[in-house]
Chains A and B, each alone.
Chain A
């Protein structure tokens, strides 16, 4: 009698555990099917999104199978009064371990080798195309400095010792290449449909140039100039966030990225004052 009650109790508990795990799997499905990524606005971002969607799908299936299997096992075997399967043979153990091994080789390694790394290589290992718009982005606590090379296509020399209130980048006025440079604070303008070549630098601590809609994230490291490029596919106003802890203002290190039609971008650039004031 007491044994029957005890058995009922653990059956109920096993059922509860299984129910909890099934619910978690369902919540996972519900969440996983929602659209979380910010709307896409860049060309290479489509590849990154494809990688992420592949993982959400395949890993999501494994997440559901894992939770359902664990829940089912707990439910089923908490009802048993005796052990029905004790010890697998060494051969069976080896054979069964092929299953998780192969699944992971396909999902994880296969995913990165077939989908992930080709995009990675396109994004990182190729220099910016020659027709790209060159923009220098210099991060500082807690702002983004934007500089365009002007008509000569060359960015002037900078030196931190020349940094003043009215020359936040320390641009060398002696350098002829500096004269037509255009410097902006916090707002970056780029044309749509043309590659943007960003030269990323930092004045003080680490920062990270994060364009959530463009699937761009790159740490800015003091002492290094890091090149990256992306091609905007949508016009509009987007946000630049900092993604590497940089101090107490990290959470409000916001910049704006305005993507304009090409002619409008040219008009805007031509209307900006240059470093030498012409």
Chain B
């Protein structure tokens, strides 16, 4: 098993199509995923800017925007149903088509074989298939903006009856059908990817790469992939059932007596709560599918810039497993006030708050890894440190929401919006950026600009806090989420003006990402040439040539003799000892 496959050298394809478009090379596929995610992020980010424009100045007129969105912003004023389409698509795109694709599929595909000393993924063809399944998913989901009634408008959670009944909301027409089809394709693709990850990690490790010598990013990918494989199928089933309810006259999620458009609908016997259970059975593990690899990247970016091992490798692995197991049994904390049996709510509250224990251990290990370090604040390190701060802030906010009692007041308010943006928006985005600055030299053979990178970090980090920390407090004030404007309620009068401040900070946050884009494409062509191992790091990808050729390793695959964090080993010639250095040369210290 281990090492057996690594002996074969793949034939390198020569035609342009096989090389760059329908490639089975994990590196090309990883970059394809990454660039796709980047394109989707541009759309998702633009939607966020429009959302903030509306919330900051709900009464204002924007004649210019009326020309770009003649239907959604007729007369320069945003329509409420267009606003709902914006929030729905912003959430859907960012969670599934940006973070999942960029962080998990993008970095996962690019780095996994390089990290474990394999020549490619276990199933290269399946890998290509998974990418080319997600492309139509992207097209379908984007196309929904242009159909009659506009894009889906029932929230990224797509709760029925809103998502099931056409008359309920304009986006519940063809837009919602396309949303469901796009999601089904996305899930099919992500499942193929997950199978590939698990198989590759278990079977394709090179000689000497035992499980406890895996970089933590690979551990997080393994756990995230297993979670994805277990949790996604119920949502596929739910999406298909919802399609039946919409177009086949069934009543899985629709009870009797629904009154829409002056008539009673013929459905009977279903329950909207069933959808919520199925959705969150996926939805909660899904946030760990995103956040665990982000934490893995943060953990792995520290040692090259602290020049010392990570603190508590083993306990981190155990904690990751504990989080993975617990994350499967806590979905009900999204449903404390949904009408679910309150006894069950108690179970979910206790289970949810149990997750804080392994999470706090990981957070502690992250901070403790700095102790005694020779810290070098290069751009990737800044992003990793920022991710620690976000993980702390987001995690602490979660304690309010996992607690059923305080959740009664905070549920569906801006507290929730602030919380999940820190976690699946902030930690993941910083990891995605930190990973990009760090692995860009390996991927493209050039360095990214440090100056622009640091500017990008500081603008992102500070404006992110300004936006989403503030939102926590608006949530305490009772400000409900998914509101098109806050002008109708007197109890919001004391706090609603803070939305203008939040919007300005959000625009800074959005503009900062343009710096990243400029840096990315400028460095692609003009960046300084990278050495093979510019960060003087220990993991296997830096042993490979830059950029790695097809098959990654040339004639012989590397053999591993130590864990990935042998920095500053006493008596070693350098302050980093790559995993390939045999114990006869430098002692193994783990």
Contacts and interface: CB of A to CB of B under 8 A. Distances in A.
B392 A70 contact: yes
Contacts of B570: 86
B104 interface: no
Given A66-B392, A77-B370, A160-B257, A243 B80 contact: no
Given A112-B405, A115-B405, A213-B491, A248 B480 contact: no
Interface string B296-319: 000000000011110110110000
A79 to B, nearest CB: 8
A74 interface: yes
B363 A100 contact: yes
Contacts of B480: 210, 241-243
A83 B375 CA distance: 9
Contacts of A97: 312, 315, 361, 364-365
Contacts of B8: none
Interface in B383-406: 385, 388-389, 392-393, 396-397, 399-400, 402-406
Interface stretch (A14-22, A147-155, A185-193, A263-271): A14-22
A81 interface: yes
A249 B153 CA distance: 12
B374 A223 contact: no
Contact of A239 (B255, B365, B462, B490): B490
A52 B458 CA distance: 32
A240 B371 CA distance: 51
Interface stretch (B180-188, B219-227, B348-356, B431-439): B348-356
Interface stretch (A129-137, A174-182, A200-208): A200-208
**Which of under 10, 10 to 19, 20 to 34, or 35 or more describes the interface residues of B?**
35 or more
Contacts of B165: 204-205
A20 B405 contact: no
A239 B412 contact: no
A77 B367 contact: no
Interface stretch (B11-19, B128-136, B470-478, B518-526): B470-478
Contact of A215 (B368, B385, B408, B412): B408
Nearest to B568: A83
B384 to A, nearest CB: 11
Contacts of B357: 100-101, 104-105, 108-109
Nearest to B465: A24
Interface string A226-270: 100000000000110111111111111010000000000000000
A52 B400 contact: yes
B63 interface: no
Contacts of B411: 217, 243
A175 to B, nearest CB: 16
Interface stretch (B36-44, B155-163, B198-206, B239-247): B155-163
A17 B485 contact: no
Nearest to B79: A248
Contacts of A205: 161-162, 165, 168
A51 B405 contact: yes
B543 to A, nearest CB: 23
Given A85-B308, A120-B405, A248-B84, A101 B469 contact: no
Contacts of B568: 82-83, 86
A96 B312 contact: yes
Interface in B263-314: 264, 270-273, 306-309, 311-312, 314
A87 interface: yes
Interface string A108-120: 1101110111011
11 contacts: A17-B377, A27-B469, A59-B396, A74-B377, A83-B568, A97-B315, A101-B361, A107-B356, A224-B339, A239-B490, A241-B489
Interface of B: 79-81, 84, 153-155, 159, 161-162, 165, 168-170, 255-260, 264, 270-273, 306-309, 311-312, 314-315, 337-339, 342-343, 345-346, 349-350, 353-354, 356-357, 359-361, 363-365, 367-368, 370-377, 382, 385, 388-389, 392-393, 396-397, 399-400, 402-406, 408-413, 458, 461-462, 465, 469-470, 473, 476-478, 480, 482-486, 488-491, 495, 567-568, 570, 575, 589-590
